[in-house]
Structure 1
Amino acid sequence: MGGKRKKRESEEIIEVQKDVNKNNESSHKKKREILPSMIKNKEKRSAVHAKLKHQKKLDKRKKLKARDVAEKLALELGEEPPPRMVPRTIENTREPDETVCRPDDDELFAGNDADEFSSVLKRECTPKILITTCRFNSTRGPAFISELLTVIPNSHYFKRGTYDLKKIVEYANNKDFTSIIVVHTNRREPDALLVIGLPNGPTAHFKLSKLILRKEIKNHGNPTSHLPELVLNNFTTRLGHRIGRLIQSLFPQDPEFRGRRVVTFHNQRDFIFFRHHRYIFETKENKESDSKGKKAKDAKGEKITKEKVIARLQECGPRFTLKLINLQHGTFDTKGGEFEWVHKPEMDTSRRRFFL
């Protein structure tokens, strides 16, 4: 009995040693793998890098193809397809925020009926926008304003001159304007927008960047005079909801769908991307194929075609990005103004913290 036990123990020790040797061999192989960064010759390094990148692309394509085949088989068998992996992004891993709006928030909807934008959004009055510039204007500023006039209906441009902004606010209130937009320029380039709600505010100051005018957009379209449809996307917090209503108050609330114009303000990571498009729906014929990939035919031998409706977009411009700097109570006042929200550098401690 003692001899058998010793034999078993020796066999177990041999198996453990084999496993250790295998692990050592695999670790040695990993060490022997030559990384592109280890190659000194530039041409060889770039060739190895391109080869690895191509192989990675092929593996990804095979993985996607296998996933599609598995989903198709599951649907044919009447089973639930395997769940798709959700990639981790900055948006879906954002820090939890108490100010995120809920659909059952009665306090929020009650506040909407009493805020500064309710008269415009309830269609009690028509939006009327005054657009002006800063005192020291540039050549690119008026070009941007002329395109803003085509985007925002019932908007009017007034030359700034030497007038103080408080006097412009008084004049706009007397002339029944509902909002003022001031385009600031720096080094001949528009770099900020000031949006003032009338008669009682609020005032939003945005940083303007990545401006591309209509003539700079390839295959751009020319907008019509129809009232546009407005799309506000991803304004989720209380602050974002307020900024969304401020933007919404610049446009009439009865769009003319015949014109097929869409103005989009898309918020992503507290950057508001502006786009202006025209769209059209077209019917496209698709020839059906059977499981073997051959074109399907009916009883008469004719090819079976299926109509598919597709949407085509044409950008009209301009294209720019906004970032909120501050939101102020009431109309513009630099000295005695009370701020609702101000962006400070200390707020940018985390990449996953958003305010809109």
Structure 2
Amino acid sequence: MVRRNKDSASNDDNERPMRRKPFRKSTNEEEESPAQVPTGDLQIRNKMVRQLLYAKLKRSKSKAKLKERKARQQSDEPKQEPQTIEKKRKRDETWVDENDQETLDDISNDELNNYFTRQPDAPEPKLLLTSQEGFPSSFTNKFLKEVARILPNTTYFQRRHHPIKRIIKKMNKLGYTDLVVVNEDHGKPSTLFISHLPEGPTMKFRLTSARLSKQLRSNRGKPCAKLTIRPEIILNNFNTRIGIRVGRLLAALFPHDPQYKARHLITFHNQRDFIFFRHHMYLFKNEKKVALQELGPRFTLKLKSIQRGTFDALYGEYEWTQKPKHKMDPERTKFVL
């Protein structure tokens, strides 16, 4: 049996930890006052308490912003326009005016001049759409078939193990004007190549945010139908020399003289060097009201390189390539397109 001295008992009482006070839930009056919420989260060791206090602080700030917004709406002050990066864009030396003679000379001498001037020897656009070497995934295969349905005069070819150079030689004999190749990464489309035949150019795009027509809310799960007419083409915000070159290549994928009977519309909208592809149809409700229904598919492109001539990965001459991140301009208000 162990005996304990009085001195040891007193030491044990001194070494006992102090009992913490229980956390008291605040009332509604305390929640509305942001001054009572402590901001020094580093002094609070309890994670649950920190989360509750942080949520209380966010609620108080959102309430204050809501009161300020309502006060601005009730007042007669003019509304301020939002300052976006697109509105702060700086015009550099590549920006093209409407009557720039140097740009007009370049356009009249490029590889797409026969198409836009409607020369008698210029063939009508005829496209071949294929994938990367091998067998594409299920999603990429469905995406390619939908793109082939909405592009007029387009044939979908399962590439498998055929090299690109052999495909281009065969296309020149059959009268094709453009080759479109879609590569994938982790089962989703990631890269898009467009090569204009027989003289080029060839452009490489990064492809993101690909969605099928069934995945669009406006289409209500309907599959993409075959487009049997010539759609109307809209190109927005292609203002630089490179932008005009990209826009001309995209426009050359479609034939002239759109048919307005079925009212289909395809848009390439450039914003901050991202090209958004959308496919809509006009819905005339009455003589004054018109709506747009998105049919799909939809995707986003970003230019990576421009190569002269047809596709040549080893010995191709590049007109423009995207710089690495450490060599790019740090200013966010300068754009290429």
Indicate the TM-score class for this superposition, using the shorter chain for normalisation.
Answer: 0.7 to 0.9
Return the offset for 1:123. 3.4
Cα distance in 2, alignment partners of residues 245 and 121 from structure 1: 9
Q: Please list the CA deviations of residues 216-261 of structure 1 after superposition, one character each: whole Å capped at 9, or x if unmatched.
A: 1124165542211111111111001100000000011211111111
Aligned-pair distance for 1:309?
2.4
Among 278, 282, 302, the residue aligned to 1:279: 282
- For residues 344 and 35 of structure 1, the distance between their equivalents in structure 2, rounded to whole angstroms, comes to 48
Answering whether residue 323 of structure 2 is matched by residue 344 of structure 1, we say yes
**Alignment TM-score, normalising by the size of structure 1:** 0.75
Is 2:106 aligned against 1:107? no
Match of 2:255 among 252, 255, 259: 252
Residue of structure 1 equivalent to 2:307: 328
Tell me if structure 2 keeps the 8 A contact 1:227–1:259: no
Whichever structure has more helix as a proportion of its residues is 1
RMSD between superposed Cα atoms in Å = 2.2
State the partner residue of 1:152.
151
Amino acid at match of 2:134: F
CA distance in 2, matches of 1:271, 1:160: 28
Matched, 1:86 2:81: yes
Aligned match of 2:24: none
Distance 2:75 2:278 in 1: 37
> Once the 2 structures are TM-superposed, how far is the Cα of residue 53 of structure 1 from its aligned partner?
1.2
Describe the shift of the 1:170–1:55 C-alpha distance in structure 2 as closer, same or farther (beyond 3 A): same
Distance 1:242 1:46, change over 3 A: same
1:37–1:279 CA distance, 2 compared to 1 (3 A): farther
Following superposition of structure 1 onto structure 2, how do residues 129-278 of structure 1 map, counting pairs within 5 Å? 129-138=127-136, 139-220=138-219, 222-223=224-225, 224-278=227-281
Distance of aligned partners of 1:174 and 1:63 in 2 relative to their CA distance in 1, 3 Å threshold = same
2: distance between equivalents of 1:37 and 1:202?
59
Residue identity opposite 1:347 in structure 2: M
Local SS of the residue matching 1:171? helix
| Mapping 1:272-311, distance limit 5 Å | 272-283=275-286, 309-311=288-290
- How far apart are the structure 2 equivalents of 1:272 and 1:37? 43
Query: What are the within-5 Å matches in structure 2 for residues 23-102 of structure 1?
Result: 33=35, 37-38=39-40, 41=49, 42-67=51-76, 85-102=80-97
| Kept in 1: contact 2:125–2:176 (CA 8 A) | yes
**Matched position secondary structure for 2:67:** helix
Contact 2:107 2:113 in 1 (8 A): yes
Distance 1:130 1:52, change over 3 A: same
Give the Cα separation in 1 of the matches to 2:37 and 2:97: 50
For structure 2, which runs of at least 5 residues remain unmatched after alignment?
1-33
Q: Counterpart of 2:145 in structure 1: which amino acid?
A: S
CA contact (8 A) 2:204 2:305 kept: yes
TM-score scaled by length of structure 2: 0.79
- Equivalent residue of 1:256, what SS? coil
1:349 alignment partner, SS class: coil
For 2:91 and 2:257, locate their aligned partners in 1 and report how far apart those are by CA, in whole Å.
36
The whole-number CA distance in structure 1 between the counterparts of 2:292 and 2:65 is 33
Q: Deviations over 1:174-226 (max 9, x none)?
A: 11111100111222221111000111000001111111111111241655422
CA distance in 2, matches of 1:115, 1:34: 69
Q: Which runs of 5+ in 1 are unaligned?
A: 1-31, 71-81, 284-307
**CA 1:44/1:310 → structure 2, altered by over 3 Å: closer, same or farther?**
farther
How many residue pairs match? The answer is 287
Q: Summarize the Cα distance change of 1:62–1:255 in structure 2 as closer, same or farther, 3 Å threshold.
A: farther
Secondary structure class of the residue paired with 2:305: strand
